[in-house]
């Protein structure tokens, strides 16, 4: 009988790629559906008999328990969450911590073999890093935003509530790829509106941008579910190529805005932060899902720091499974094909 996995946030960017990854590997997929309709990829899996959708809400324990079903799945992969840099703190807590508390309790009570949680490299804080690995890094004690704040709290909840052999934590960087609904559109929209590529502070755009192709994230989620060595660990998920902020802006401009000439300009960091604080303050007051304008305060800090982390643990997962991560060039080719069609 095929093993079964239950995926929250299966209609989202990471979630739908994860559902496809598990289905491709012969698993039966249960997908939590929360109000919004599922994307075509999920509908195709459902028609093929690889996936079943279940209505529910990660913040509602009763509907969550009913959606998970009986007998319980072998694994739960938790992709759902509020992934943004603006909004009210209460909203982040409900979605990014309370939901994890419910799932940890269900995993414990139902004896689910493995709980795999999608966290973020933002838990390390925003600063200049130089290739440190998970064993050298600790979550920041002063998160600058509710998003990493409650991801840190969720990780602590998992460690306190489950034995090490029953969980794994993945920390992706900036997730990208065809169909990305947030990161790439924000950058492209900014480049379309601005005559300049704007950098802030002393790095002048030469700092690393921590890219993580969505198919690498999905494969890592699958491997963290099935590999015993992944249990009880936190794993950075990042592309191996080092891409600077300047390079990333220009790569996206070449694909989405061919022919546009963008000059680079460097502004003082304090100026960017002042503008970003105003954008973030208004967006949070209105409880928007995304900033009404870019850059937000968190975005300014992110693109002005050297977010350079090691992905050695991720590569070990792939090597044990004899898998090759998607390269940056392969991902860029996918982006080009996606806009051609």
Tell me how far apart the 2 most distant CA atoms of the chain are, in Å.
60
Question: 129 vs 85, 175, 203, 223, 234, CA distance in Å?
Answer: 21, 19, 13, 27, 18
- pLDDT at position 34: 75
Strands (E), the chain: 4-8, 28-33, 51-55, 75-78, 114-118, 167-172, 174-176, 196-200, 211-213, 234-237, 263-267
The Cα–Cα gap between 212 and 237 comes to: 6
Q: What are the backbone dihedrals phi and psi of residue 17, each rounded to the nearest 5 degrees, phi first?
A: -70, -35
Residues 6+ apart with CB under 8 A from 192: 256, 257, 260
Domains along the sequence of the chain with CATH: 4-176+210-238+308-326 (3.40.50.720), 183-205+244-303 (no CATH)
- Residue-wise pLDDT tens for the chain (341 aa)? 789 999 999 989 999 999 999 999 999 999 988 767 788 888 888 888 899 998 888 988 898 888 888 889 999 999 999 999 999 999 999 999 999 999 999 999 999 999 999 999 999 999 999 999 999 999 999 998 999 999 999 999 999 999 999 999 999 999 999 999 989 999 999 999 998 999 999 999 999 999 999 999 999 999 999 999 999 999 999 999 999 999 999 999 999 999 888 899 999 999 999 999 999 999 999 999 899 998 999 999 999 999 999 999 999 999 999 999 999 999 999 999 998 86
The Cα–Cα gap between 295 and 279 comes to: 7
- pLDDT at position 185: 93
Cβ pair 302, 126 in contact under 8 A: yes
- pLDDT at position 261: 87
pTM: 0.95
Quickly tell me which residue has 């072998």 as its tokens.
74
Question: 14 vs 18, 147, 162, 294, 311, CA distance in Å?
Answer: 6, 17, 24, 23, 18
- pLDDT at position 35: 64
Cβ pair 241, 328 in contact under 8 A: yes
- The DSSP line for 26-94 is T-EEEEEE-SSPPPHHHHHHHHTTSEEEEE--TT-HHHHHHHH-SSPPSEEEE------S-S-HHHHHI
Average of per-residue pLDDT values in the chain: 94
């Amino acid at each position: 009988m095929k093993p079964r996995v239950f995926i929250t946030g299966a209609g989202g960017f990471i979630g739908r790629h994860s559902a496809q990854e598990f289905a491709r590997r012969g698993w039966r997929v249960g997908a939590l559906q929360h109000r919004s309709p599922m994307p075509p990829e999920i509908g195709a899996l459902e028609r093929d008999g690889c996936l079943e959708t279940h209505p529910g809400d990660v913040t509602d324990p009763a509907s969550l328990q009913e959606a998970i079903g009986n007998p319980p799945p072998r694994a739960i992969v938790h992709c759902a969450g509020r992934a943004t840099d603006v909004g009210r703190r209460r909203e982040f807590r409900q979605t990014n911590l309370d939901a994890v508390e419910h799932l940890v309790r269900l995993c414990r009570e139902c004896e689910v073999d493995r709980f795999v949680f999608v966290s973020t490299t933002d838990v390390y804080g925003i600063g200049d890093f130089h290739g440190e690995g998970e064993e050298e890094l600790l979550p920041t004690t002063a998160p600058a935003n509710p998003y990493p704040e409650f991801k840190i709290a969720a990780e602590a909840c998992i460690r306190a509530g489950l034995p090490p052999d029953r969980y794994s934590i993945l920390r992706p960087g900036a997730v990208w790829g065809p169909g990305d609904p947030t990161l790439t559109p924000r950058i492209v929209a900014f480049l379309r509106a601005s005559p300049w590529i704007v950098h802030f502070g002393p790095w002048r755009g030469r700092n690393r941008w921590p890219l993580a192709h969505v198919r690498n994230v999905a494969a890592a989620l699958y491997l963290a579910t099935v590999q015993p060595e992944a249990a009880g660990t936190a794993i950075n998920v990042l592309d191996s190529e080092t891409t600077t902020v300047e390079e990333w802006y220009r790569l996206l401009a070449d694909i989405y805005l061919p022919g546009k000439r963008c000059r680079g300009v460097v502004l003082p960091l304090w100026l960017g932060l002042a503008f970003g604080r105003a954008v973030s303050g208004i967006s949070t007051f209105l409880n928007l899902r995304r900033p009404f304008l870019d850059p937000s305060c968190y975005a300014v800090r992110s693109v002005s720091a050297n977010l350079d982390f090691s992905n050695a643990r991720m590569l070990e997962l792939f090597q044990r499974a004899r898998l090759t991560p998607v390269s940056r060039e392969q991902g860029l080719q996918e982006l080009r094909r996606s806009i051609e069609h």
